[in-house]
Amino acid sequence: MKRTVLSRYEQSADGKFIIDVASSRVEELYNDFDKSAPYIRRDLDRDLVDYLIGCAKELGGEPFFVRFTFDLPPDETNLARIRGSVNAYFLYLADDELQQLIQMFRRSAVLLLVGLSILFLAVSVNRALGAERSVVANVFAQGLTVAAWVSLWESLKIYLIEWLPHRKNILLYRRLADSQLVFGKESIAG
């Protein structure tokens, strides 16, 4: 299956896979958010970003570079702008993903503390009530125990399962930010 996916990509002489981006002009790589504002904020076009992310995911750990081809060759200013934009945008995505991960770990720590506190309370209530207790007291004591385990599970779920996709995204975005950009039909050798 992996070979089938990789066969869709051209390879350079040194074996690097080429992610090809073709456009008629540089401006098509960018998205204008608000043309009526006194300033123009330009960001990479979302379709381009999704395409680059999709290609990098397909290539996995394989070495690659991104080749941009335009109908009219861009000047050196636009080439520098593209390099800076790709680097800055993917570093921004990596940083945003890192902030989400940090927030998730904070939430997990709070859930862990809450779960341990409720568990301590549940054990204390169960001991205080003893063996002979009413149905309402029994339901309350069991409810505390269930609430403690739910909180603890949510905390552990973040530590054991949920952080990994965020870490993979951070590594992917950093890889794209650092990727080599080539312009025109030139290729990389060695």
> Which domain does 67 fall in, by range?
2-183
- Residue 190's pLDDT is 43
Spell out a b/e string for 160-190, using b for 16 or more CB atoms within 10 Å of the CB, else e.
eeebeebeebbebbbebbebeebbeeeeeee
Flag whether 189 is in a domain: no
HSE-CB for 162 with a 13 A CA cutoff: 16
- Per residue in 109-147, pLDDT tens? 999 999 999 999 999 988 888 778 888 888 888 899 999
In a domain, 118, yes or no: yes
Q: Which amino acid is at 5?
A: V
Q: How far apart are CA 127 and CA 133, in angstroms?
A: 11
- Low-confidence residues in the chain, pLDDT < 50: 187, 189-190
In a domain, residue 188? The reply is no
139 found inside a domain? yes
- Flag whether 156 is in a domain: yes
Q: What is the pLDDT of residue 141?
A: 87
Is 190 within the bounds of a domain?
no
| Residue 189 pLDDT | 47
- Residue 23 in domain: yes
Q: Own/partner pairs for 164-169, CB < 8 Å, 24+ apart?
A: 166/97, 166/98, 166/100, 166/101, 166/104, 167/101, 169/93, 169/94, 169/97
- Name the domain count of the chain: 1
Enter the pTM of the model: 0.80
CA distance 186 to 16: 13
Say if 124 falls within a structural domain: yes
